[in-house]
Every structure is written in structure tokens, then in C-alpha cells.
Amino acid sequence: MRVFFDIIGCRLNQSEVEKMAGQFRAAGHEVVSSPAEADMVVVNTCAVTSEAASDSRQKIRQAARAGVEKIVVTGCWSTLDPQGAAVLPNVAQVVANAEKDHLVSTVLNQPAEVFELEPLARQPLPGLRARTRAFIKVQDGCDNHCTFCVTRLARGQSQSQPVETVLADIQAALLGGAQEIVLTGVHLGSWGQDLLPARSLRELLKIILEKCRIPRLRLSSLEPWDLEDDFFELWRDPRLCPHLHLPLQSGSAGVLRRMGRNTTPELFAALVAAARTVVPGMAITTDMITGFPGETETEFEESLAFVQQIGFAAGHVFHYSPRPGTPALRFPNQVDPRLSKQRSARLRAAFAVMSDSFRQQFVGQTAQVLWEALRSNGPEGWRLEGLTGNYIRVEAFAPRLMQNEFSQVLLTGLTDGGLAGTILSPTEPETVN
């Protein structure tokens, strides 16, 4: 059977389908790069915003229009609305998030143990950009109560993967050629708190760095709480990428309170200062929501000023999306969506300025780049694109295709959203920082 995977949403969804793809391959099936080539499509859906839910339905309809007769739907949107998913064309099965780990054995009607015998090399999916990074799910679910969040409803309580499973998944990814491991979770910072005895993310990182020959290790997203005082000491190991994604959501104390976020602007600023003390040049990126119910003009201005005070390297800005089942849906003083969008535009403009100034400080310096994709091929050579450890997208001309290799690069100037560079030399992965 030929199987195509489609995802909407986060890196967790990406990580999950990569694991499923490995299991289908191990069972003798082929993973293909488009629905038109497939006998079966698996769609891993998302519900984080109303747009993501609508995209999820669209992906399913697209697969049906491409002539796929068997569509298996899983993920957050279909877990929250299984009937809505089941009635879409050619949907044969809806697999809830709680059953997702066994999706392949369920679909193939085989015992789950078949896939637990030995680690399967995890390879990039066909059709995606040549991937150098592997997303490893170490945790799922969340015990927090952010009032806007539908993800915690769709993903359930926090559950950590045991250390042995995480190490096996990482080894499988390294076996498949990954040069960078990205740990993902819905609430990654809570890893280990549900295990007996309880453990911490700091412990997990130490074990991974000790036991695995990883060229680069990156953390996907950490809520700005739960981190121990000495957490950033781990970055003394240069394999840990100097990049932290800390979702702030709002820089106004009042809005954060109504959002049910477990932080304040002061605590957030202290956390960033602690990180920068240990790792100067650390890229701090974030997520923001504009137009949360009751957000006044003053609160938005506070938020904007705070974001500028922090000086983020980049940020994703979303306008508030009312989600069924969340407390914020019923909050008074819902903000006109047109105003939310205007505020989003202002915030994005501020992030663009901050991003330029963050990248500008590295012009004239050298950095190690992991080449990820080919942008073009012309008389000047192969134009490659890759990432630095601190998550700056770099473009440079190369004498040959060097995807999934490291180079030492002289950073020469700003591009739209990244930096241009000149390759100085290839680098042994073990020396990467």
C-alpha cells in the first residue's frame, strides 16, 4: 500500500507522523509524496485556531478530490469533533489522540507489539524539504489551564515518554541521518513530573547529552515557568542550540492574568535575563496573541512596549481565535476581530524591526550552519539555505550540494528574514556550537 501523510499545525504533529511513517515502512508499505500517488492518506489535524480547524477539513477534502478512497484522520481537531471528521468524504477511520500511538497497528490490524521490538530508522518524509532535523516527541498533554487553549482539551493530561523511549527515538533519528534533534511536547517543561519517581527536563537533557552522539540538540517550545534556577547551565554544552522559544502570549500583566498564564512580565523578563547571562547571543523567540477578550488599547500598548523591551529575535503573532469549550469564549468584552488584526499587524512590524537588529549583530562574524535546503542552482553555483544554532536562516553559494552537512560561514549581510553568508570550510559535526 502507498501511504501519504499530511499535517496541519505543530512540530508535535510532524514528529508523530514521522514515527507512523517508519512503522508503515517497517510493515512493508511505501510512503509517497502526494495524495495523487497514494492508496491511503493519514491526516494529522490541528484545532489551535479556527483557521487550523478549517485547514484540517480542507486537507481531508483535498485528499478525497485527489481520488484517495481511504482517509484516516487523527489529531486535535478530529479528537474534538470526531463526528465532523467522520462525515467528510472518504474518511474511513477517525483515531482519537489517546489512541494515536497505536494508529498504524490499528489501521493494519496488527498487534501494537510488532512495532515495539526494535528501533526503526526514522527517515524524513518524501516531498518535504530535505530534512536535517528530527522532531522527537518526549511529552504530550498539559495540566495547565490557559483560558484560550483548546490544545489541552484535545491532548488530555500531561504524559511523559520514559527516558528509554526518548533515547530509542533519538537513536532511530540519528540512524536515519538527522544532524539535529528537536525535542517537542505540548508542555515540554513539565517532562518527568508525572513519572514515578518524578524527574525533570534538566535531567533528561543531561542524560541525552551524555548518552547520544548528537551534533545538535534543540528545544522546541518551553512555557516560561517550571524551569529550575540552574537550567541554563546546561547550555555550557555547545551541542545545545542557543535558542529558546518562550511563548509569552501577552506583555500585559492584566491580560496574562485573564489568560490564566502562570507568569508575569516581571518574571518573564527575569527568566530572559538569566538565560542571557549564561548564553549571550541566545535567540529568544516567542508567540503572541492579540485581541484577547477585554484587551484594552492601554493593555495592548503595554504588551507592545514589553515585547520591545525584551528584544526578541523573532515572534509568531496570532489574533485571538475563540475556540469551543474554552473559558475565554464566554469572557465579556470580546474584541472586534478587525481591531485584533490591526494590533497583530503592529506587533508583527515591531518583531520585524527586532529581528533585523538581532541578526545585524552577527554580520561580520562566523557561524556554523547546517545546510537544509537547495534554493536554486545557477551559474554562481548551488544556493543553499540552512540554520545556525541560534536559529538564523542563512543563504550561501556552495560548490556542490551540501545538504545535511555543517559549514563554517562568514555572515555578510541581512536578507529578508535571514542572513547572507560565504562558506569558509566544512565543519565536523562534533565541533558544532
Q: Contact positions toward ligand SF4, by CB under 6 A? A: 142, 144, 146, 149, 151-152, 186-187, 223
Closer to ligand SF4 at the Cβ: 63 or 186?
A: 186
Give me the least distance between CB of 372 and ligand SF4, in Å please: 27
**How far apart are alpha carbons 225 and 246 in whole angstroms?**
9
**How far apart are alpha carbons 296 and 302 in whole angstroms?**
10
Give me the least distance between CB of 146 and ligand SF4, in Å please: 3
Give me the least distance between CB of 365 and ligand SF4, in Å please: 34
Cis peptide before 197 (omega within 30 of 0): yes
User: Residue 40 pairs with which residues in a beta bridge?
Assistant: 3, 70
Give me the least distance between CB of 223 and ligand SF4, in Å please: 5
Closer to ligand SF4 at the Cβ: 223 or 302?
A: 223
Closer to ligand SF4 at the Cβ: 88 or 146?
A: 146
Closer to ligand SF4 at the Cβ: 226 or 237?
A: 226
What pairing do the DSSP bridges indicate for beta strands 216-219 and 180-184? parallel
CB 395 within 8 A of CB 384: yes
Give me the least distance between CB of 112 and ligand SF4, in Å please: 27
Closer to ligand SF4 at the Cβ: 344 or 355?
A: 344
Alpha helix (H) residue ranges in 72-215: 76-80, 82-86, 103-108, 151-155, 163-175, 201-211
Cell 496574562 found at: 256
| Cell representation of residue 388 | 545556525
CB 45 within 8 A of CB 88: no
Length of the chain, in residues? 433
Give me the least distance between CB of 85 and ligand SF4, in Å please: 21
Give me the least distance between CB of 260 and ligand SF4, in Å please: 7
| Cell representation of residue 255 | 491580560
Closer to ligand SF4 at the Cβ: 152 or 239?
A: 152
**How far apart are alpha carbons 354 and 155 in whole angstroms?**
34
Closer to ligand SF4 at the Cβ: 149 or 174?
A: 149
The count of other CB atoms within 10 Å of the CB of residue 276 is 16
